[in-house]
Amino acid sequence: MQEKTFQRIKELTELQGTSGFEHEVRAYMRQAMSPFVDEVQQDGLGGIFGIRHHEQEDAPRVMVAAHMDEVGFMVSQITDRGLFKIIPLGGWNPYVVSAQRFTLKTAKGDYPCISSSIPPHLLRGTAGQKTVEVSEILFDAGFDSREEAESYGVRPGDTIVPQVETIRTANGKNIISKAWDDRYGCTVVLEALEALKDEKLAHTLIAGANVQEEVGLRGTKGSVNKFKPDLFFAVDCSPADDTVTKNGTFGHLGEGTLMRIYDPGMIMLPRLKEYLLDTAATHNIPFQYFVSKGGTDAGAAHTSNEGIPSAVIGVPGRYIHTHQTMFSIADFEAAREMLIQTLRGLDASTIHTIVEGK
């Protein structure tokens, strides 16, 4: 991996922006996309997309969408002791939330914050800790009282986001970071736009990132209505399940980009799957089939407007929706090549065949 790409990954994953509060990531995407597109447009909820116009006004429209938001929390109440009750933004395993470092983001500034836990000393002589619920975990920024917290600008509705440094593993094959779901997508969009900047495409390309994916695929509905694509590709990270066995599991690090054939919100159309399989075979791109219990923005896109054929060009990540995700550099590079070659190969005839299913 080139150092430039690693630095782009590091910058994007270390940015902090949970659902509905993606402004730092949006500003980064706007600046990074602008040199490679004809214009940048934003939808009403805050999704941001660079557009490369085809010279023909009626050329087919292809949309590639990451999402900018990462899982986090929102302050719901400030206690008398100056701690915070929260609601989760996105899906969290309650057993990974406690005793972690976060950033509390307020109108007056950002403050260090940690999630509470119970030391074993205080559990002695008891029946032990009961089942943990995320909403029961308090967050602590070191304030003595509600009044002190409020004097620093803390209010209900402020967000709390993981604080993590992005690093390489010792063998150089993997990267550890937060928010690879879905700063992967943000990174691969920028990499593809840069790679294709001097090439003429056979379609109008709309590439960027949605908001509020982690809280119900909300941003996609507005963006596809605004841009009205003929085809939609989500670029997203999915959970790897390979730490114990690869037999009967989906999502294995180092085995290539994900070919998501099914999830609860989407079945990939046969002609679109055929096109992606042909693209992978033609360009020797490693891929792995993937079946998921969760969805992506492609699930919202394909039932929007008059129905939009949609697919996901993805990567697996271990331990997603936590502070620390491990992901493979080789998988990222395979997904990047898959996206670039997919966009290169799409012309009006191919898109018509995919859409019409003939």
pLDDT 10s digits, 181-231: 999 999 999 999 999 999 999 999 999 999 999 999 999 999 999 999 999
Coil, strand, or helix at residue 142? coil
Give residue 340's pLDDT. Answer: 98
Q: If pLDDT is split at 50, 70 and 90, which confidence band does 131 have? A: confident
Domains along the sequence of the chain with CATH: 3-70+178-356 (3.40.630.10), 72-162 (2.40.30.40)
> Whole-number mean pLDDT of the chain?
95
What Å distances lie between residue 17 and 201, 231, 265, 309, CA to CA?
A: 32, 28, 25, 29
pLDDT at 122 over 60: no
Give residue 125's pLDDT. Answer: 63
Give the tokens for residue 153: 């600008």
Give residue 114's pLDDT. Answer: 98
Cα separation of 57 and 55, whole Å? 6
350 vs 124 pLDDT, higher one: 350
Summarize pLDDT for 300-316 with one digit per residue, the tens.
999 999 999 999 999 99
Give residue 238's pLDDT. Answer: 97
pLDDT at 123 over 70: no
Give residue 130's pLDDT. Answer: 74
Residues in the chain: 358
Q: What is the pTM of this model?
A: 0.94
Cα separation of 143 and 236, whole Å? 38
Cα separation of 221 and 206, whole Å? 15
Query: What is the pLDDT averaged over residues 152-157?
Result: 98
Among candidate residues 191, 213, 214, 337, the one labeled active-site is 213
Summarize pLDDT for 68-81 with one digit per residue, the tens.
999 999 999 999 99
Torsion of CA 1, 232, 40, 21, to 10 degrees: -80
CA 298 to chain centre: 12
What secondary structure does DSSP assign to 149-208, as a single string?
HHHTT--TT-EEEE----EE-TTSSEEEES-HHHHHHHHHHHHHHHHTTTS--SSEEEEE
Give residue 249's pLDDT. Answer: 94
Query: What is the pLDDT averaged over residues 25-31?
Result: 98
User: Is 213 in the active site?
Assistant: yes
Pick the range with the lowest mean pLDDT from 128-142, 215-229, 241-255.
128-142
Give residue 268's pLDDT. Answer: 94
pLDDT at 43 over 90: yes
Percent of the chain scoring above 70 in pLDDT: 97
pLDDT at 344 over 80: yes
